[in-house]
Structure 1
Amino acid sequence: MGASAVVLCLVLQLMQEVKASVGNCIPRKTVKYQTLNVEMFVKEGLSNVSALLVDEETDRLFVGGRDVISALDLNNISRETAREHWFATQERQLECIRRGKDKIRCQNYILVLHKINDSHVYVCGTNAYHPLCDHMVIQRTKMHLQGRAEESRGKCPFEPTLKYASVFVDGAFYSATSNNFLGTEPIILRSMQNPVRTEFKTSWLKCFVGMEIVPESEFSPDGDDDKIYVFFTETAVEFEFYDKILVSRIARICKGDLGGKRLLQRRWTSFLKARLSCSVPELNFHFNIIQDIFFLRRRKWQDSIFYGIFSQQWGRLDTSAVCAYSMASIREAFSKGSYRGPITVEHSHVRWMVFRGEVPVPRPGACIDNFARNLGYNTSSDLPDKVLQFARDHPLMDGSVNPIGERPALLKRSSNYTRIVVDRVTGLDKQTYDVMFLGTDDGYLHKAFNCDGEMFIVEELQLFLSPEPVQFLQLSAKKGMLYVGALSAVVQLPVSGCQRYKHCLDCILARDPYCAWSQAAQACVLLSDQSADTKNLIQNVKYGDASSCLSVGIEIGILLNVEFHVKYLFTLGNNVHLKCVPLSNLARVVWKFNGSRIRDEDSKYLLYDGGIAIFNATAAETGFYDCLSVEKSKAKEFFITVARYALYAQQNATKQKSVGSQKENLVLKLLCAGFALLFFFLFIWNFYKGHISLPWRIRETSSKDTNADLENPELTTERSEAVRESSAVQADMS
């Protein structure tokens, strides 16, 4: 076999392993809506939920909807503490309809909610395709708009369904959205202080999904500036292809950017953008459309991580990927990478080529730092024209920002992720785990993490009774709560439901960093609620090794005996069906009959999802059937008995019934014999006393009386007369 053939075999093997890992990355547990304990805010008048704002300082959750803003209790969102309506005027709605928009969209959708301080929230709405922003004043259980609404082109989208991004930083409002009614002029804008915006390019800046500030000036030895990072998707200009290729981008601007003096006046001088790479190269899986972004902030900004959800433009459109990016790789792409710029070739055809010439000093697109100040450039308006010209003509970096590990942290088929938040949790082993919470387009929430390159989904939760896309997802790490917004409802649920795991094995195999098994309480408990003494707790997030649940000396493979069994009567010759569901989606079922394992190849049985079928059952099939849930974790198998049946043949029951009937008949016969004997003794006693005469003696007495009457006629006549008198008296009385 040649070297090329060996390489090909290795590549194919790797592809199969990766495909298997993608296919097998299924949630361990599925929790349906009916068994999920959540708080929900559903109220008349609330529709088209379009913004969420978590305020941990005042214990409020602000919800923006169509024509309304609600303030909810952060501890229990079913309790609304205040409400404020904000309607578009009738004139504005009529104008919107005249311009071709439908009546429903020609209302005021609250899309922007930003906290300014404990008493003020910055609010923006579409206002029937004429965006307005205002300040909302918060006073305990009341809130009201100041009534000083200002026109907000570029701050808030015109279109309610258009994706956008914004942040509020030190009195300045940064926004990324469309700047016109038609949605054809994308813009990144700073308003309220030193207004600056991007240049307008028709192919740029489409589909904004996120904007974050990174305090890179903190403890910076170079006197660097804070950065604003923007995430979006746009049509690629650097690739030549028969079809338009979409790419995900990360753009960077400097917080202290004031624009240029002659060139780029009121335009960003620091605007640069780079491609975000999220792919599985060996499988040619390229996830080039970014759906959402989350910034996991750490105490040191250098340790912070961006997590993004990506989907494919072509291929399997039902596959989602999560990629994580370090600040080091992002900084390197912008501070050390080469630039690309447009070059006209072949009759006005433009190609974006890598710039190979000398780059001006100070570096174009860089923030003002100590190096620039030493050269006499204290603000962006001081920069020379050649630097500004270069920055304007070369906004695209050549290199891409690659994810941590050079591959996705999570790949999931048959799921379209829409929103993501990430929480960093410290386990019992003192290791930290980045737990991802992912909303889907059918109303589920996945909890997942990546441990040393292994993808693991702890559980999936059905948040809504009917499929509904997760539109918003907010995390309160302080409360340990998640807040999920769909079009018609808001849901509150804890970051973990440890109480759902009833057995030690189930708790440990879940590998949930939030949960541990308490040997003292014999329950799965929230780790953060436990005291500093953790000797009594069991957890194994990294490997899911539940060996600690077993007694010393017992080999791996435990049978947790159920306390009761189900009695099952069957008729000889019939088929018997016994139900059983494994403990998790990762477990398989093993059946045992009177302690011996039932094999798949046994033609007497049919093993299927949900149970077992016993064909043409005979008396030999009577006995005990055990259903065991078997789950494998790091080459070890763990067994839990989840069902036990005791089978009895119907004829046995008939025999038992026949024996019972014989006993009843015997008792009845004995009672009858007793009554007969008692009657006989009573008859003899009455005869002895003379209360009863024999029949022939009665006849003898009658004959004697007759003879006496014949011998004495007078007595007979007297008797006849007495009888006639008695009859006459009875006639007179009647």
Structure 2
Amino acid sequence: MENPSLLSLAVALLAFLSSSSTKLTPRVSFPTGIPGRHLTRFSGHDVSNTTTLLLSDSGDMLYVGSRNAVLALDVSHKDAIILRSKLDWSPSEKDIEQCSMKGKKMADCPNFIRVLQFFNTTHIYACGTFAFSPRCTYINSETLTMSLKADEGRGRCPYDPYQRNTAIIVEHVFGLWEEAGEPGENPRRHGENMQTPHRKATGRKRWGSSCYGELYTGTVADYRGNRPVISRHLGEGRRLDLKLDDTLGWLEDPTFISSSFIPDEEKIYLFFSEVGREYDFIDKFIVSRVSQICVSDVGGQRTLQRRWTTFAKAQLLCQADSELPYNVIQDIDTLPPAEGAPADDTLFYGLFTSQWSVNSGRSAVCSFRLTDIKSVFSGNYKVLNRDTLQWSTRVQEKVANPGECGLHNASDNALRFVKENFLADESVRPVGRRLTMLSSEHDYSHLTVQRVQAANSRDYTVLFLLTESGYLHKAVLLQSGAHIIEEVQVFEQPQPVKSLKLSIPKGMIYVGTSEGVVRVPTANCSFYWTCPQCVLARDPFCGWDPVSRACVGASNSRTSLCQDIDRGNVKEACKTVSITHRDRFGPNKLPAGELVSVSLNEVVRLQCPAASQLSQQLWERPNSRLPSDLYLHLEDGSLSFVASPATLGHYLCLSTENGYQQTMAIFHVKQKSTPLTQIPNIYTWPEAHRIATTKSVARTGPELHTSVGTWPKTIETRQGETEETLSSSQVTTRLRSRNVTLLREESWQREPDFRDGEPLLLAQGPCYLKELVVVSVLLVLCLSLLITMLLYGSRQRCHSQTAPQPVTPTRECDRRTPVEQEALKGNSFLSKHSGHASGLVCNGVLSGSNGHLPNTPI
């Protein structure tokens, strides 16, 4: 296979940009602190950086490697994690001072436990960074005390606490001549106090068989982190410790992820990422690798002495057709074959990201089959040109098969061949040559996998993935793709996650964070209280038991359960289950119609809870449509409109998921000023008990779901008057200090018979009280202004009439005698000089203030 060119890479990039990924949304979300998902936390003021987790075979004890300490936690209790014992393992002040003098930060100089493995049934082997000077020791698992003084841990544990590493202890069975014990012998040699087989006390040699643990690690062997190494330790003279020959650069700046031992193959597979030197790119191209070594390897006799003779590596290609590969491996977990299946069916589920910015924020899961890995390692290998350090593929005669066990007795020529040809030509492609799961919304960091047998006796693969934002996702792999059953918020603030451990016998997941340990149950069946909700979850752990009428664990039930993992078909799975009101609406929850009092021209917003994050919310009105010019459907599922005579009435919120429809809320919108406000609408329901209903249904609690049904025909509009009576027994509830009688079960199966505008709405017509008051006030103001203006005009006219005016003789004045006319002239003259008039002239007659003629005696 030729090296890909830049042109082909550009074509692949364009093809990837044109491709689309399916959006994966968790069906149910459980934020921190809600009662729907039970979590158990362990933390302490002196507990931090729980880097490594080790679970006992029984699942009752969890050993934690943290900063400066090893903890033994009792996890056998349901509601608590108890600290059984603690071993303090801190560097001295002198060690920390030397670490600081080397230029390291004081926060990086404590002892971070990075290796924690069972050595045998009584002891644990532990290694820590120990102020950038790795140390290892044996710890008694019962008393949590050190059995021996800590020794050097170079090549077994990293120096830097931020460098990733992998370690695994594998029991090795061997035969040897043993002698009687000598005083002062190392207990690691013959297993004294460590439960290795006993020796005879006679001092005679005998041929026997024994087993002991050997440590296989992938880490760095120097202070600067420039010497990566895959090595074997704890042989203690019985077998040689081995490591890689680094003269030819067998590893190129690797980041070790995980390791797995396959007993049937007697091989250890290590997974890591490194720089791909076989690609001639301008920038460093990261590739994901799988490598193998045989546990029976003891090195060559002359060539490759104390070096691996069975080391080989190949590329893991997590890539879909015509798309850019996800080339950086983040985590990987091994899924053993099903019972009765061959070892070749072992699957490795890897979590990958990409170094390309176009894939930023995306995570992909790929699965690789052991038989495909073996096929690649048994094929051709690339050839390294020592002069140019370039890899090429050419047809050549195979002197030996690289990666084959038992080469320690091979010739020097064969060992030189496997020394120079250790990179497989072909890449290991995923199962089905496609991605198992692709998420463009979540950035995953850790994963673990489990095979679960459902009620139909079929096996399903369940992935537990941890996001960088602190959510644990549980996803089931189906033929149609991955389905995320739920997400659980493990911690509120994003923080470094150090490890993820699954306990299959106990059904628990343990998450190690920088603050402590969190325990999450793998199943949450009791959350689903109805058959439809239990089936829609599509959780292989859970099924609906028609006898106990509860969602129970599939592995714990002996009865036939209602379950449909592949399709989630409620109609088929729950066809034998009668759906009562309690099944529809949950425990002690009934769908009362909520009364919403509004004023005309007021903006109304009706909130509707969602049955799940995969459901779609619909709004309906009885015998009426919801035109877009009057109603606005918001993104959160709520309905908004302006209150008017046309929009008053009843509203029904429906939730639809996978073809199953259920009623989530009923609202009755009415006008505040209606005289019949205190007379509620009445629905009927068959069960006679009183409960308190809430205004809205919480998204995440047991109140999350309600029922399926149709509108009832019987609605009581006035006290004592009904259109149709279904039953004399009615159930009433209190809602905002108003009596509301609920729907009968059989009435849900009838067609709606509501008509907006009828007395059912409790509104006899539009009310213009506010408008009338405003018009009346304006009218009063106008009348007051008009009267004021009239009074002002009348006063002005009166002033103009009382002012002195020249007297014009009329015809009657012409009849007066000359003597009278002279008297009038004289009186007028006196009035002008006195400043006021003593009399008035009316119709040519002068009168005094007393109403008589002037100068006339009374």
Answer whether TM exceeds 0.5 for this pair: yes
- The whole-number CA distance in structure 1 between the counterparts of 2:166 and 2:483 is 30
| Matched position secondary structure for 1:390 | helix
> Which of 206, 211, 233 is residue 273 of structure 2 equivalent to?
233
Alignment partner, residue 182 of structure 2? none
Alignment partner, residue 652 of structure 2? 626
1:367 aligns with 2:410: no
Matches within 5 A, 1:64-213: 64-76=65-77, 78-139=81-142, 142-170=143-171, 171-193=213-235, 194-200=240-246, 201=249, 204=252, 206-213=254-261
Amino acid across the alignment from 1:548: E
1:304 aligns with 2:346: yes
Alignment partner, residue 726 of structure 1? none
Matches within 5 A, 1:533-612: 533-534=559-560, 537-548=561-572, 560=584, 562-594=590-622, 598=626, 602-612=628-638
Amino acid across the alignment from 2:469: D
1:597/1:334 CA distance change after superposition, 3 Å: farther
Task: Quote how far apart the aligned CAs of 1:156 are.
Answer: 0.5
1:58/1:639 CA distance change after superposition, 3 Å: closer
| Deviations, residues 394-452 of structure 1 (Å, cap 9, x unaligned) | 11000011111111111011212111111100111211011010111111111112222
Task: Quote how far apart the aligned CAs of 1:62 are.
Answer: 0.7
- The whole-number CA distance in structure 1 between the counterparts of 2:469 and 2:628 is 41
Matches within 5 A, 1:230-379: 230-282=270-322, 284-298=323-337, 299=339, 300-314=342-356, 315-335=358-378, 337-343=379-385, 348-361=387-400, 363-368=401-406
8 A Cα contact 2:59 2:76, kept in partner:
no
Say which is worse superposed, 162-171 or 639-648, in terms of deviation: 639-648
8 A Cα contact 1:177 1:208, kept in partner:
yes
Task: Quote how far apart the aligned CAs of 1:281 are.
Answer: 2.1
- The whole-number CA distance in structure 1 between the counterparts of 2:564 and 2:678 is 53
| Matched position secondary structure for 1:460 | strand
Instruction: Output the aligned Cα RMSD.
Output: 2.5
| Deviations, residues 623-648 of structure 1 (Å, cap 9, x unaligned) | 3222111112xxxx111212222222
- The whole-number CA distance in structure 1 between the counterparts of 2:472 and 2:463 is 10
Amino acid across the alignment from 1:319: R
The higher radius of gyration belongs to: 2
State percent identity of aligned pairs: 32
| Deviations, residues 463-510 of structure 1 (Å, cap 9, x unaligned) | 112223432111111001111111112111111111222332222111
- The whole-number CA distance in structure 2 between the counterparts of 1:553 and 1:261 is 73
Alignment partner, residue 394 of structure 1? 421
1:108/1:595 CA distance change after superposition, 3 Å: farther
- The whole-number CA distance in structure 1 between the counterparts of 2:569 and 2:109 is 57
Alignment partner, residue 459 of structure 2? 432
Q: Deviating runs (4+, > 4 A) in structure 1?
A: 14-18, 549-555, 559-562, 653-657
Amino acid across the alignment from 2:146: L
1:500 aligns with 2:527: yes
8 A Cα contact 1:560 1:639, kept in partner:
no
Alignment partner, residue 443 of structure 1? 470
Amino acid across the alignment from 2:48: S
8 A Cα contact 1:184 1:202, kept in partner:
no
1:34 aligns with 2:33: yes
8 A Cα contact 2:651 2:667, kept in partner:
yes
8 A Cα contact 1:205 1:232, kept in partner:
no
Task: Quote how far apart the aligned CAs of 1:656 are.
Answer: 5.6
1:596/1:110 CA distance change after superposition, 3 Å: farther
Matches within 5 A, 1:404-443: 404-443=431-470
| Matched position secondary structure for 1:586 | coil
Alignment partner, residue 669 of structure 1? none
- The whole-number CA distance in structure 2 between the counterparts of 1:551 and 1:257 is 61
Amino acid across the alignment from 2:494: P
Amino acid across the alignment from 2:398: V
| Deviations, residues 283-327 of structure 1 (Å, cap 9, x unaligned) | x23100000110112354222211110000102220001111111
| Matched position secondary structure for 1:651 | coil
8 A Cα contact 1:197 1:267, kept in partner:
yes
- The whole-number CA distance in structure 2 between the counterparts of 1:382 and 1:28 is 58
Task: Quote how far apart the aligned CAs of 1:16 are.
Answer: 10
Amino acid across the alignment from 1:365: G
Amino acid across the alignment from 1:402: R
8 A Cα contact 1:57 1:118, kept in partner:
no
1:453/1:327 CA distance change after superposition, 3 Å: farther
- The whole-number CA distance in structure 2 between the counterparts of 1:656 and 1:477 is 59
Say which is worse superposed, 100-109 or 74-83, in terms of deviation: 74-83
1:148/1:554 CA distance change after superposition, 3 Å: closer
| Deviations, residues 261-284 of structure 1 (Å, cap 9, x unaligned) | 1111111000000000101223x2
8 A Cα contact 2:353 2:362, kept in partner:
yes
- The whole-number CA distance in structure 2 between the counterparts of 1:479 and 1:17 is 45
- The whole-number CA distance in structure 2 between the counterparts of 1:625 and 1:504 is 27
Alignment partner, residue 63 of structure 2? 62
1:467/1:58 CA distance change after superposition, 3 Å: closer
- The whole-number CA distance in structure 1 between the counterparts of 2:633 and 2:572 is 31
Task: Quote how far apart the aligned CAs of 1:550 are.
Answer: 5.4
- The whole-number CA distance in structure 1 between the counterparts of 2:138 and 2:317 is 39
1:564/1:17 CA distance change after superposition, 3 Å: farther
Task: Quote how far apart the aligned CAs of 1:44 are.
Answer: 1.5
Alignment partner, residue 46 of structure 2? 45
Task: Quote how far apart the aligned CAs of 1:58 are.
Answer: 6.5
- The whole-number CA distance in structure 1 between the counterparts of 2:97 and 2:40 is 39
Task: Quote how far apart the aligned CAs of 1:203 are.
Answer: 5.4
- The whole-number CA distance in structure 1 between the counterparts of 2:530 and 2:675 is 36
1:461 aligns with 2:483: no
1:205/1:136 CA distance change after superposition, 3 Å: same
**Runs of at least 5 residues in structure 2 that lack an aligned partner in the other structure:** 1-11, 172-212, 680-858
- The whole-number CA distance in structure 2 between the counterparts of 1:255 and 1:656 is 84
Task: Quote how far apart the aligned CAs of 1:181 are.
Answer: 0.6
Amino acid across the alignment from 1:502: W
Say which is worse superposed, 542-551 or 408-417, in terms of deviation: 542-551
Alignment partner, residue 727 of structure 1? none
- The whole-number CA distance in structure 2 between the counterparts of 1:366 and 1:131 is 33
- The whole-number CA distance in structure 2 between the counterparts of 1:251 and 1:82 is 38
Aligned length: 606
Amino acid across the alignment from 1:45: D
- The whole-number CA distance in structure 1 between the counterparts of 2:289 and 2:464 is 23
Alignment partner, residue 617 of structure 1? 643
